[in-house]
Amino acid sequence: MLDRVLSSTVLLLASLAAGCATGQGSRPGSVVEINLLQINDVYEIGPVAGGKEGGLARVATIRKRLLAENPNTFTVLAGDFVSPSALGTAKVDGQALAGKQMVAVLNALGLDLATFGNHEFDIKEDQLLARLAESRFRWTSANVTRASGGPFPGASPHVVLTAQGPGGSVRLGVVGVTLASNPVDWVSYADPLTAFRQEVESLRGKVDVVVGLTHLAFAEDQAVAEGVPEVDLILGGHEHENIRALRGADFTPILKADANVRTVYVHRLRYDTSRQSLTVDSELVLVTDEIPEDPEVAKVVAEWEEKGFAGFRQQGFEPSQEIAVTTIALDGREASVRNRPTELTALIARAFLTEAAGSEIAVYNSGSIRIDDVLPAGPITQYDVIRILPFGGKILTADIEGSLLQRALDQGLLSRGSGAFLQTANITQSEQGWMVGGKLLDLSHTYSVAIGDYLAAGKEQGMDFLKPGPGFTVVKENRDQRMAVIDQLRREDPASP
């Protein structure tokens, strides 16, 4: 069971046997203090939750406060920020931003180091190479390299961060690794545990502290903690929810903050150079509107938001236009939509049915919802809808045979917790089986289905069978699903003229 916290300060002893770094046996002035500011899974440059949470300009304020407290402050990002970003889908000068705005804001913030997330490889190879060239921060990955050979430009298997104090210098060896959950042919992925272990071995005697900057599922982070006892601290990403856990024989801390910088982790390290011992005090900090925005970073955020909005206008959207005023919150958090229906998923399904007029049922993959946020009751803009469904895609009207439909529904249920979990309309489950419109699904009947084009192309994980062929015929291609949702919101909760 994961040890999850909302907001607390915990003392994590990375070297339990060594005792307290400031205790008996310490030489006066021998302790070097280091701050590590950790963020992970950041897809929005501005605040979320109606402006009440997150925002990289607020993180910049936290960073400056930490630097004022201790010049030995380093800001690190544990993967997933270039993609998927709603603003990144906007086309500026004919090209999708593809994370350009994220890199620009992180440069302004003063990020020191990042590792790759699995979604960094959603964009094209030339786009990622451009983002790497634009980065004023360093990248590390021990297990991800170019398929053509060698590391990505600007990335190295490890990075050494050096902190200075009255007791001398302390060297932090930071090793990045990434899971290969959506591999592409222009990237080579080595086993993360093996690569991590080999890199740590190469650092033996060259650094004082070993930090893992990982973008792995928690089980893989646990394997690193158990398999590489030399690692002192694992700063991770991927789960989108804050995690604090101690794993392995040395009780190695594994820590992850919440996505979209709703929270950040502040780790205060104290290394005793005379005793060669380390203590870590880790605090999960809530990023709320009580933290002022750094004006310089806020200006960069505003500039890129306007560039992105101008791009969306050229695509036929009016991002700032208020389209509805809802009386209920719309939950689009990944932990919700990939496990159960919510008011938001039901709204999207109704939009599918309306758009594909005459369809009996609607089916779409929950992974198409990328907002990972709760839109509070109140005004909804077109940009909110773009944030919900950044990749868009057509809604198709298709004739699907009942046996194929049942296979897809069964697979979607088995995929609960992932993006392949299916959201539906007019489909329920009973003790007898799947029900369509209140009647038991007929395996021999052909159903008219409103379905997303990504799912209908067999691209979803485990759903390669769900595509045009025997038992599956595309009847009509309808509009972009974002336009359909915008119109559905206007019908159900119209904004005041």
pLDDT in tens, 378-401: 999 999 999 999 999 999 999 999
pLDDT in tens, 179-227: 998 789 999 999 999 999 999 999 999 999 999 999 999 999 999 999 9
pLDDT of residue 49: 87
Domain boundaries, the chain: 9-295, 317-492
pLDDT in tens, 36-47: 999 999 999 999
pLDDT in tens, 418-461: 999 999 999 999 999 999 999 999 999 999 999 999 999 999 98
The conformation of residue 15, written as its DSSP 8-state character, comes to T
Where the chain has pLDDT below 50, the residues are 1-24
pLDDT of residue 27: 63
Q: Is 115 helix (H, G, I), strand (E, B) or coil?
A: strand
Superfamily of domain 9-295: Metallo-dependent phosphatases (3.60.21.10)
* Strand ranges inside 317-421, DSSP E: 322-326, 330-331, 361-365, 374-375, 378-381, 394-401
pLDDT of residue 184: 92
Cα–Cα–Cα angle for 248, 249, 252, nearest 5°? 50
What is the rounded distance in angstroms from the CA atom of residue 396 to the CA atom of residue 359?
10
pLDDT of residue 182: 78
Q: Is 337 helix (H, G, I), strand (E, B) or coil?
A: helix
Domain 317-492 - what CATH class? Answer: alpha beta
What's the mean pLDDT when you consider all of the chain?
A: 92
